[in-house]
Structure 1
Amino acid sequence: MNKSSVILFIKKMIFFFIGVWIIQTGVAIFIQTNIGSDPFTVFTQGISGLLGITTGTANIVITFVFLVAIFILSRKSINIGTVLALISAGPFIDLMLNVLKPIEFSSFNIMVKVLLLLISCVIVAIGFSMLKATDLGVAPNDLIPLIIHDKTKIKYQWIRISMDLIFVTVGFTLGGVIGIGTIIGAFLTGPVIQFFMPKLDKIVKAIIYNEPSSSVVS
């Protein structure tokens, strides 16, 4: 690997981890509002109840199953970031939960909490779009809608909304806890990511490669 390749990889890694940090900042705000878990967490809660295991263990099981399915059906989609996203998400979310801990979210009224949740969806979308633009890969549960988009050309937002609604329906049926935040997250996250993804793809790639990118997710 020559010097330019090393510099390119370092640039990608920097943007990748900034993206992970931004995502988990949004997730931490989502959690702190305490007006409903995100769709994937509801699904995780349901599976944990079904299998009689902890939510954390259920998350590992689900993610592993998704990873195996992707490996079988579209192994070329798996990249170093698929693994890095898995192992780095936990530490980053713990960090941001501790940073936000002094803020008394419980003292806010429901309207403020809803506003914060809407902001968190935007933050997650920005972080995810930055991470995706590095082409290093994303977490298995985030990779599935991207693979479906690439194979079907259906807009990402509709795939993401459909998957989130499936997560919510199955999770709630199995005992997962939902709230107004869950519904907002299910319907808003996909479209907001759809909005930011092509824009940040161009910006991030322009910085990484020192030239504009023509890669746009439609």
Structure 2
Amino acid sequence: MADKKNLTRRIIMSFFGVIICAISVGIFKIAALGVDPFQSFMAGLDVMIPLDFGLLYIIVNVLLLSFALIFDRHYIGIATFINLFLLGYITQFTYSFLQTVIIDPSIVTRIICLVVGVVIICFGSAFYMTADLGVSTYDAVALIICNTLKKGKFQYIRIITDLVCVILGVTLFVLAGGKVRDIPTIAGVGTIITAFFMGPLIEFFNVHITRPFLARA
């Protein structure tokens, strides 16, 4: 009974974490001060490739999924496929909805959205990582490099992978004809904050909230 209860809790944590992360990306887009590093890469790719964002997100994540399947399938699970097939579309819905509620936001409103977005994306990530029913294919890359390939601590590996995504995203954006003045909307202060603080903040939530929550009888 205890195992069944624990599994139920982990499934709920996985769904909750993925949905929260998807919503946070929509909030980042409203802030227009830079999205999280992986979404920065996706934003650049979205400008380069004329496909629906939800479909493009699935294609990219299928490619990343192959990396995880080769090196460590442990990180592939329910949450991975929820993320793969739903996150892009939930993000689209959230962003479209918020555009009808937050019209022509002031810089103060945008900063508030940015702060909220950073906190909840890390909060959501901590939930589905701790649930251990699979993580996003992008999160799996840093976890595999850290835990399977033993190449460093998660916090620092995550910073490196995030920086690579930002560089690729900006490069693709510019090559696709994006205007230099618009770069901060996909790689701005919000991107810098998440690139350097997502790893440590996720670990903070892991230690103080999600692991104790899962261990609770």
Report what 2:31 is aligned to.
33
Contact kept in structure 2, 1:39 and 1:182, CA below 8 Å: yes
Residue 64 of structure 1 deviates from its aligned partner by 1.0
Aligned residues: 205
1: CA distance between counterparts of 2:38 and 2:116?
Answer: 19
User: How far apart are the structure 1 equivalents of 2:82 and 2:23?
Assistant: 17
Structure 1 position 141 matched with structure 2 position 150? no
Q: What are the equivalent positions in structure 2 for 1:173-184 lying under 5 Å apart? A: 173-175=171-173, 177=183, 178-184=187-193
Aligned 8 A contact 2:30 2:113 in 1: no
**Secondary structure at the counterpart of residue 104 of structure 2:** helix
**Structure 1 residue aligned with 2:8:** 10
TM-score by length of 2: 0.80
Matched, 1:128 2:137: no
Looking at structure 1, the residues matched to 85 and 122 of structure 2 have their Cα atoms a distance apart, in angstroms, of: 20
- Distance in 1 between the 2:50 and 2:90 partners? 27
After TM superposition, list the pairs within 5 Å mapping 1:63-212 onto structure 2. 63-90=61-88, 92-94=90-92, 96-97=94-95, 100-104=98-102, 106-109=104-107, 111-151=108-148, 152=150, 154-175=152-173, 177=183, 178-207=187-216, 210=217
TM-score (norm 1): 0.79
The 5-angstrom pairing of residues 29-68 of structure 1 reads: 29-48=27-46, 53-68=51-66
In 2, distance between residues paired with 1:51 and 1:90?
A: 15
% identical equivalent positions: 30
C-alpha offsets along residues 37-72 of structure 1, whole Å, 9 cap, x if unaligned?
332122123334555645444322221111011111
Q: Find the counterpart in structure 2 of residue 215 from structure 1.
A: none
Q: For residues 105 and 182 of structure 1, what CA distance do their matches in structure 2 show? A: 23
1:137 positional shift = 0.9
Residue identity in the other structure for 1:198: V
Deviates more, 1:148-157 or 1:131-140: 148-157
Cα-to-partner distance string for 1:121-164 (whole Å, 9 max, x where unaligned): 11111111111111111110111111222132733221111111
Q: 1:180 to 1:75 in 2, by over 3 A?
A: same
1:97 deviation in Å? 3.8
Q: Which deviations, in whole Å up to 9, do the C-alpha atoms of 1:56-90 show, x marking residues without a partner?
A: 44322221111011111222332232112223324
**Cα distance in 2 for residues equivalent to 1:202 and 1:8:** 12
Consecutive unaligned residues in structure 2, runs of 5 or more: 175-182
Cα 1:33–1:51 change in 2 (3 A) is closer
Following superposition, the deviation at residue 165 of structure 1 comes to 0.7
| Shift of residue 117, structure 1, vs aligned partner | 0.9
Change (3 A) 1:62 1:199: same
Q: In structure 1, how many angstroms separate the alpha carbons of the residues matched to 2:25 and 2:194?
A: 11
Residues 2-39 of structure 1, C-alpha deviations (whole Å, 9 max, x = no match): x5544332222122212222222322221111222332
Give a deviation string over 1:91-146, Cα, whole Å, max 9, x none: 5435544664453263322x442243122111111111111111111110111111
